Structure 1
Amino acid sequence: MKLIFTLSLFFTSLSFATAQAVIETPPPNYIRTVIFQGPGDYSGVPVIRLGEPLVLKFDDIIGDEANYYYTIEHFNYDWSPSELLKNEYLEGFDNVRITDYENSFNTLQLYSHYQLEIPNEDTRALKVSGNYLLKIFNDKKELVFSRKFMVYEPLAQVEVAVRKARDVRFIQTQQIINFEVNSPDFIIRTPEESVWAVILQNNNLKTAIFNIRPQYHIGSTLVYKYDQLTSFWAGNEYLNFDSKDLRAATVKIRYIEVQDLYHHYLFKDAIRAFQPYTYNPDINGKFVVRNFQALDDDIEAGYVWTHFALETLEPFEAGEVHLYGEFNNFQLDDSTRLTFNPDTGLYETARLFKQGYYDYKYVFLRKDGILDEGFISGNFVSTENDYTVLVYYLPPGGRYTRIIGVGHATSLNITN
């Protein structure tokens, strides 16, 4: 899947550079296992209905019970700050210390586990829909990390379909998203100028397609039947490992060593781009923390060094190989980069993970900054992917963009 944020065909619309004016701040190395979710979801970019709760969890592996504070900011569709004052989008107040924390129990790696639930007695409710940014600060008022989330109102129905590409060059490698927005009880005025749509693949905001305008409308229905404008590289199923038992090797774990912490050495992986597609059930890049011997996974799951190996025989000169997944919000950094070992012919790395079930894949970051998700894993139209469509609306005279509908689809139901 390529890192291309497609611009609208309408040149009066907002540019991609503007749409990404506010970016998330990744956490430092001592902040681990950030879980950000709505009700019943895996960790990822939360897309919640107005009034639903939101949960943030993270570990500080320094383990000194440091103080952390949070703020919430509201943004327009293009991630520029909205004109709303804080009391217009927030009932209660923020800039409050996170008081729900515990220290780890019976683990080799000590850590302090923090949990923030919204609403709470201080932040009682989010009052409007739209884009939000949750910021976490330390007691020196330094920004530690931030995460985006979206809140929607169910004012329109969004029907989403996944189709094969009409261009024969991409019919086996891309998936096309078509959708319709129907709002019989909610009047959308001048939709060509006031409605934008965003498509997320596997809940990954970093590879989303922004700024999609309706092609045409029939009555109260807006129709989006683009081909290349709403296309995604299909990718391949994620690989995975399960470390719920630190002392037992599984199908994926080759052997285990105990040093300062447990070390899990995975079986080596191979380049799949030129192999036939094989369906392998996954959770689309996400992860679940679990320790099968624990009563409370949040504080009893330990940390383990997980060792990865990718067999290539020769190094790639045109870029870098990285691990990729929701385990760090699809962020590429030094902890995800693999180094080629000429003695073994393998790209190798080790990364610290909290016990659990993790999806991951290998991706290629080219020297020009383009992320090529299919370079190592391949792109296969049969790959199962989840898609989410968000519909934004700025009413005439409105002071902020609302999210008026959300639709979902899976490529298991792909059609021609």
Structure 2
Amino acid sequence: MTLPFNWKNGIMALTVAAAALTGCVPVESSSTGTGASGTAAIRFEDAVYNPDVRSVQFYALSNNVGDVLAPPVVSLEQSSALVLEFDRMTAPRGRAVVKLQHCDARWQPSQLQPLQFVQDYNEFYIQEVDPSGGTKVPYWHYSFRLPRVKLSGNYVMEVSEEGGSPLLTRRFVIYEQQVQVALRPVATPGAGDRYERQQLDFNILYGQYPLVNPSQEIKVVMRQNHRWDNVKYFTRPTFIQEAQRRLEYQLFDVEQAFLGLNEFRAIDTRSERFSGFGVERRDVSGSPDRVFAITGRSRAREVYSTQPDANGKFIFGSREYGNAPLNADYQQVTFSLHSPEPAPGPVYVFGALSDWQLQEPFRMTYDAEKQLYTGTALLKQGYYNYYFAVKGANGQADARYFEGSHFSTENVYDVLVYYRPPGTRADLVIGYSTIQFNPQR
């Protein structure tokens, strides 16, 4: 059921205390962008600005079938649409508004005006808003299909309350396949690092595409498992073969290779009656239900062990009721990690469930007597991948400390090729390619 936007008083109040509704990213603007009302700044990254917003998914839809594990990267032809879904934990009082912003290769706003990259007026309303059904924790589910755009490049989608503050932002990429990218896994140059890191050399074949000064104007981004928090930027090719119309990137610096890390830990909370994978026990006596994950241990010194995973991502589901968007309930999930001594920095549950960020709601506390880290987060029923990560001195996530790192780990890599044609004001994405490193059979 899609509800009109004239809700009346008396809508069921949320039964979970507001203090439990953690999971937001604090609004600390690092840009000059503004929200829909012009009163609150946004960051040009994946972020949630209101603790009322939960369970954000952003994925491609092809032939009316969605792949929630697919990254929000689609061709300019847009045979595959992009779909945004999220929940709000209290009844909305007004419409949600979507705006798009074109960005450069470094995720700063481009100098383009909206009419140069959107088909119509740059303001879209989310019409599909439905209440949850049969859940202990009530919520409202939003669904929105993005409109077509005119140009390739990086985009940030901002969702705000009409006339109010921002709710969330999400990044997505539109590409044109004007050049071809050939990826090749290779061994890293360092003797000790070749057992921990993964490296890919690549060529860009530009054929008849009229590249001007490619050594200066081409920028390349490589990602691991579609993450933006640890991308590698390449601003110059190693060699330019003009006769073959080829740019060669051969990586000699070990820091240009990725840590392979480990297969992700997993927990399956989709059943309300049985303990799924990674679940030690459940307590359904209260509201919301409580789920306790199996206590983890450090894998830093263990040998690599193959296990299937979703490369750090998650899917929602309800095995009893089936309709995940509206019937999957919210649960308090407690994670625990045995550690004989405290880590050199704060420890977090880390993955797509935390937007690949070290968020305070996922921070764990250490009990020296029990030699145990614990942390609890409110999560929608689903299958989740995660790491235990330490906050390093540079503020970045260090997953290797507890997870270890192996060349043999299965990971997905993709490459985005950016080009700014002479006389233009925007970085276009003219090539895209993806490869599975160590595919599991």
Query: TM-score higher than 0.5 here?
Result: yes
Alignment of 1:224 with 2:249, yes or no, is: yes
Q: How far did 1:303 drift?
A: 0.8
SS at structure 1 position matched to 2:337: strand
Amino acid aligned to 2:419: Y
Report what 2:416 is aligned to.
Answer: 390
Amino acid aligned to 1:412: N
More divergent stretch after superposition (232-241 vs 287-296):
287-296
Report what 2:133 is aligned to.
Answer: 105
Alignment of 1:300 with 2:300, yes or no, is: no
Report what 1:157 is aligned to.
Answer: 180
Whole-angstrom distance in 2 between the partners of 1:368 and 1:79 = 21
Q: Return the match for 2:436 from 406, 410, 413.
A: 410
Q: CA distance change for structure 1 residues 241 and 66 in 2, over 3 Å: closer, same or farther?
A: farther
Structure 1: runs of 5+ lacking an equivalent: 1-16, 120-124
* Contact 2:224–2:412 (Cα < 8 Å) also in 1: yes
More divergent stretch after superposition (138-147 vs 280-289):
138-147
Q: Return the match for 1:262 from 289, 293, 305.
A: 289
Q: CA distance change for structure 1 residues 369 and 263 in 2, over 3 Å: closer, same or farther?
A: same
Q: How far did 1:413 drift?
A: 5.9
* Contact 2:91–2:139 (Cα < 8 Å) also in 1: yes
Q: How far did 1:366 drift?
A: 2.2
Alignment of 1:240 with 2:266, yes or no, is: yes
Whole-angstrom distance in 2 between the partners of 1:200 and 1:379 = 17
Report what 1:272 is aligned to.
Answer: 299
Alpha-carbon deviations, 1:282-328, whole Å to 9, x = none?
A: 11001111112224211111111111110002222x31111111123
Q: Give the TM-score of the pair, scaled to structure 2.
A: 0.84
Q: How far did 1:88 drift?
A: 1.0
Q: How far did 1:44 drift?
A: 6.8
Amino acid aligned to 1:356: G
Whole-angstrom distance in 1 between the partners of 2:122 and 2:421 = 28
* Contact 2:50–2:166 (Cα < 8 Å) also in 1: no
Q: Which has the higher contact order (CA 8 A, sep 6+)?
A: 1
The structure where strand makes up a greater share of residues is 1
Whole-angstrom distance in 2 between the partners of 1:70 and 1:22 = 14
More divergent stretch after superposition (375-384 vs 208-217):
208-217
Alignment of 1:290 with 2:313, yes or no, is: no
Alpha-carbon deviations, 1:357-387, whole Å to 9, x = none?
A: 1111101102442321201100111011110
Report what 2:35 is aligned to.
Answer: none
Whole-angstrom distance in 2 between the partners of 1:249 and 1:379 = 29
* Contact 1:28–1:144 (Cα < 8 Å) also in 2: yes
Report what 1:208 is aligned to.
Answer: 231
Structure 2: runs of 5+ lacking an equivalent: 1-30, 32-42
SS at structure 1 position matched to 2:195: coil
Q: Return the match for 1:34 from 30, 41, 56.
A: 56
Whole-angstrom distance in 2 between the partners of 1:130 and 1:393 = 9
* Contact 1:35–1:44 (Cα < 8 Å) also in 2: no
Q: Return the match for 1:190 from 213, 220, 223.
A: 213
Report what 1:363 is aligned to.
Answer: 389
Q: How far did 1:261 drift?
A: 1.1
Whole-angstrom distance in 2 between the partners of 1:243 and 1:250 = 6
Whole-angstrom distance in 2 between the partners of 1:412 and 1:323 = 25
Report what 1:332 is aligned to.
Answer: 358
Whole-angstrom distance in 2 between the partners of 1:58 and 1:372 = 28
SS at structure 1 position matched to 2:47: coil
Whole-angstrom distance in 1 between the partners of 2:99 and 2:390 = 35
Whole-angstrom distance in 2 between the partners of 1:153 and 1:188 = 14
SS at structure 1 position matched to 2:353: helix
Q: How far did 1:45 drift?
A: 4.9
Aligned length: 390
In angstroms, what is the RMSD of aligned CA positions? 2.0
Whole-angstrom distance in 2 between the partners of 1:27 and 1:245 = 30
Q: How far did 1:56 drift?
A: 0.6
Q: Return the match for 2:308 from 281, 285, 297.
A: 281
Report what 2:124 is aligned to.
Answer: 96
